[in-house]
Amino acid sequence: MSDDDTLRSVYELVQLMSSLNDTRRSILIALAHIYPRSVSGVQLSRLIGYSGKSRSLYRGVLAHLQENKMIMIDQLTPKLYAIRINNEHPLLMLLVDMCRKYGSKSKKIYEKSLEE
Amino acid sequence: MDSLLVRAKGLYVDRQRIALATVMIVFTVTFYVFYSPGIYTLVEGIPHQIQYGSVQGIEIVYSFNTIGFFLAFSIMVFAYAVWSWAFLPSPAVSYTLGVLKGIFGPSVKIKHGIGKRFSLTLDNGVDVNITCRIKGDGPEEWFMYRLESSKFESPDLEKIALRHGMSVSDGRLVTWVSNDELHSRTLLMGNAISMASM
């Protein structure tokens, strides 16, 4: 990919991220950092510091993110879901790459909150 | 949340309370109206083995009065459902119109229809339909919007949609947007539309 293409993608990524609201943005950032791990709904709400029931995340936020192909949700058992970022998304692919390259410190923080 | 939307939310909650109170009063009145004039029962000649009190009970429950009462009550529920489907509180309408005019220019034609719908036609002839839903499914999301463009023929449509955080359904760009995303994501949709219609 040439520099011009990368810059354009970064620009589009910034625009996309800034168009999302707080909850959706923090979900994508957190999932991009811990990629390729996938998390359950409860773990995700802990990751983004969400105080409500994790079930309420599914209906509005996660369902819409999945519809727009930004995240993938696999149903493991009737009650357990594995949520991960969609690494084939043309812009989020770039976000994941950046997080892997420069985000090791943040990654540690995110992983610590998953350990407990 | 925008102050107009806060007001719209307050109005909506108030109106729901008023509607509930009205329904309770109307319910009582219809109950009185339907059962006071006399019972027109549906069953004739109930066997004598059953006690007389029970016969009276059955006659009251199984009667034209009950049918009429349920009809009246279902009309009430239906009217309430239509009312809450059709109307968006006016502060929310002016917020939505303001945001849309801010993006597509003050001269854009916006039609506000019944059923919380907005449809606008852009300069290049593309239609965008916006449907609002009060009390969306998400947390703290009071007003959700469904954006839907008209059909495109562009071969890159899928890619354009992905890069603007949308999805494609039936050749249209579609997405759900919460009220605090309405401005930024409608803007992105405007970009996507101009790319797709090139």
| Distance (Å, whole) CA B96 – CA B89 | 11
Say if A15 is an interface residue toward chain B (CB within 8 Å): yes
Q: What is the pLDDT of residues B181-197, one digit of tens each?
A: 899 999 999 889 888 88
| Distance (Å, whole) CA B40 – CA B1 | 55
| Distance (Å, whole) CA A115 – CA A111 | 6
Closest CA to B145 of B182, B112, B172, B102: B182
Q: Which residues of B touch A (CB under 8 A)?
A: 136-139, 141, 144, 159, 162-167, 175-176, 178, 180-181, 184-185, 187-188
Closest CA to B168 of B177, B179, B159: B159
Which pTM was predicted?
0.81
Instruction: Given CATH 1.10.10.10, say whether it is the number of domain A3-115.
Output: yes
Size of chain A, expressed as the number of residues it contains: 116
Nearest-CB residue to A60 (from B138, B167, B188) = B138
Helix B64-86 and helix B3-35, axial crossing angle in degrees, nearest 10:
170
Count of CB atoms within 10 A of residue B194's CB? 14
Residues of B in contact with A19 (CB under 8 A): 165, 181, 184-185, 187-188
Residue B86 tokens read as 């059709």
Burial of A76 (0-12, 13-18, 19+ CB in 10 A): exposed
Q: What is the pLDDT of residues A44-63, one digit of tens each?
A: 888 888 877 777 788 778 88
Q: For residue A36, is the peptide bond before it cis, meaning its omega torsion is within 30 degrees of 0?
A: yes
Q: What is the pLDDT of residues B72-126, one digit of tens each?
A: 889 988 998 898 888 888 899 999 999 999 988 888 888 988 888 999 888 888 8
- Whole-number pLDDT of residue A13: 92
Domain locations along chain A = 3-115
